């Protein structure tokens, strides 16, 4: 059982411990999303049209799934600030798609 430092040594309940683990998992999913989009953007010049289309499709699907999970997670608690990095990832993906399909091609 982990100790909650905010409440001066009070042990966390199993629900609080599980919530902290889910919170950490959400942050890692968003960080992975950010890294994937950044990697795709840096490889933009070497991707073919077919490869870019497939990559864009999978990135949109991944962003949608992570976005739904994050929305469900934030509705249950006071974790609304997690939405801001997710919105930033959506904007980065939009810039990637616009740059790939409109500007570069």
Q: Give yes or no for a contact between 18 and 11, defined as CB atoms under 8 angstroms apart.
A: no
User: What pLDDT, on a 0 to 100 scale, did the predictor assign at position 59?
Assistant: 94
Domain boundaries, the chain: 48-105
Task: Convert the pLDDT of each residue in 13-72 to its tens digit.
Answer: 877 788 788 888 888 999 999 999 999 989 888 989 999 999 999 999 999 999 998 888
Is the predicted pLDDT of residue 1 greater than 70, yes or no? Answer: no
User: What pLDDT, on a 0 to 100 scale, did the predictor assign at position 6?
Assistant: 57
First to last CA, the chain: 55
Q: Give yes or no for a contact between 12 and 3, defined as CB atoms under 8 angstroms apart.
A: yes
User: What pLDDT, on a 0 to 100 scale, did the predictor assign at position 9?
Assistant: 64
Is the predicted pLDDT of residue 90 greater than 90, yes or no? Answer: yes
User: What pLDDT, on a 0 to 100 scale, did the predictor assign at position 39?
Assistant: 92
User: What pLDDT, on a 0 to 100 scale, did the predictor assign at position 21?
Assistant: 87
Q: What is the spatial distance between Cα 61 and Cα 65, in angstroms, rounded to a whole number?
A: 6
């Amino acid at each position: 059982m982990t100790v909650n430092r905010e409440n001066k040594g009070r042990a966390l309940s199993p629900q609080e411990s599980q919530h902290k683990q889910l919170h950490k998992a959400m942050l890692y999913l968003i960080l992975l999303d950010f890294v994937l989009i950044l990697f795709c953007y840096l490889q933009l010049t070497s991707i073919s049209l077919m490869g870019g289309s497939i990559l864009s499709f999978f990135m949109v699907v991944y962003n949608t799934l992570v976005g739904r999970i994050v929305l469900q997670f934030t509705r249950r608690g006071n974790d609304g600030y997690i939405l801001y990095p997710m919105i930033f990832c959506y904007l980065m993906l939009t810039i990637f798609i616009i740059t790939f399909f409109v500007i570069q091609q």
